[in-house]
Amino acid sequence: MKVNSTELQNNFGKYLMLAAQEDIIITRNGTEIAKLTALGDQLGSAVNQIHESVPLYGYGKKATYEEFLQLWQESDERYEYIDGEIYLLASPKTAHQIAVGEIYGSFYNYFQGSNCTPIVAPYDIELRRTPEQINIVQPDIMVICDLEENLDDNDYYKGVPTLIVEVLSKGTRRKDLIKKLDLYMSCGVKEYWIVNPDNKEITVYLFDEQNIQEFTTYKQNEMAQSYLFEKLKIDVQRIFR
């Protein structure tokens, strides 16, 4: 099968899955320039994860921020850009969405009348390790306490959320537990909740000076509690059905 580079870029997930069945010849201005081909179990594993979150420029190849922006602007898919890798985000499963809905509902009620606003994905957050190292993420839930003063002229938020929640899934586990934990900790997020539907646990991290100051894991029949917001508590059993 032949496909031009623009079509491949706009529909990478589809062609990655097709490459498990046949070689994909990539063209630019009518000239063959590359081939996307199966690599045994390695590609098969990536294809199995395409419905969760996989790096599009995997196996050591990094993408520039400009390449990410071009992909983001030309595609209807959802993407994250973390430390030079582009991740395709696809539709989450039912348990994931139930957990997100329950937590967001509790956050919404708690923060009513305060200067903090809970927001649910999809919503792009720009985080910078340095002025040049730009990352774009879409946390499942974020609590923003400086919204009005950090909106740009296009109504995009340019600050750092105070609290972020990520609900794990099979394909995002490594990214959420390692890459995002380090990114959030390094870029000024103060509290990070990792929600695990598989073992029905919630781990709450408190960050300070780019390090983990404290963390607690809450199990079923316990109340998960925020470090920053004294009365923000959620019944763990309620989150998982």
Q: Which domain CATH number covers 197?
A: 3.90.1570.10
pLDDT of residue 96: 93
pLDDT of residue 56: 57
- Could you say which of 59, 89, 119 is where a domain stops? 89
Domain assignment of residue 180, given as a range? 94-239
| Residues 226, 200 share a domain | yes
- Could you say which of 54, 89, 124 is where a domain stops? 89
Taking the C-alpha atoms of residue 186 and residue 220, their distance in angstroms, rounded to an integer, is 30
| Residues 67, 167 share a domain | no
Q: In a 3-state reduction of DSSP, which class is residue 15?
A: helix
Contact 118, 166 (CB under 8 A): no
pLDDT of residue 25: 84
Q: What is the per-residue burial (b if ≥16 Cβ within 10 Å, else e) of 150-164?
A: eeeeeeebebbbbbb
| Residues 75, 136 share a domain | no
pLDDT of residue 18: 59
| Residues 107, 50 share a domain | no
Contact 86, 56 (CB under 8 A): yes
| Residues 161, 83 share a domain | no
Q: In a 3-state reduction of DSSP, which class is residue 33?
A: strand
Sign of torsion, CA 155 176 170 89?
positive
Q: How many CB atoms lie within 10 A of CB 192?
A: 24
| Residues 141, 210 share a domain | yes
| Residues 224, 202 share a domain | yes
| Residues 120, 230 share a domain | yes
pTM (2 decimals)? Answer: 0.76
| Residues 50, 14 share a domain | yes
pLDDT per 10-residue tile (average), the chain, 241 residues: 75 60 78 72 38 47 86 86 89 91 97 96 95 95 96 94 94 88 97 95 96 95 96 94 75
Task: Give pLDDT tens digits for 133-151.
Answer: 999 999 999 999 999 999 9
| Residues 103, 157 share a domain | yes
- Catalogue the E-assigned strands of the chain: 2-4, 24-28, 31-36, 53-55, 78-82, 85-89, 117-120, 125-128, 134-137, 141-144, 163-167, 191-196, 201-207, 212-218, 223-225, 233-235
Taking the C-alpha atoms of residue 238 and residue 241, their distance in angstroms, rounded to an integer, is 7
- Could you say which of 72, 89, 106 is where a domain stops? 89
Number of structural domains found in the chain: 2
Could you tell me which of 49, 56, 133 has the C-alpha nearest to residue 87?
Answer: 56
| Residues 122, 67 share a domain | no
| Residues 230, 130 share a domain | yes
pLDDT of residue 60: 44
End-to-end CA distance of the chain: 44
pLDDT of residue 50: 36
pLDDT of residue 17: 54
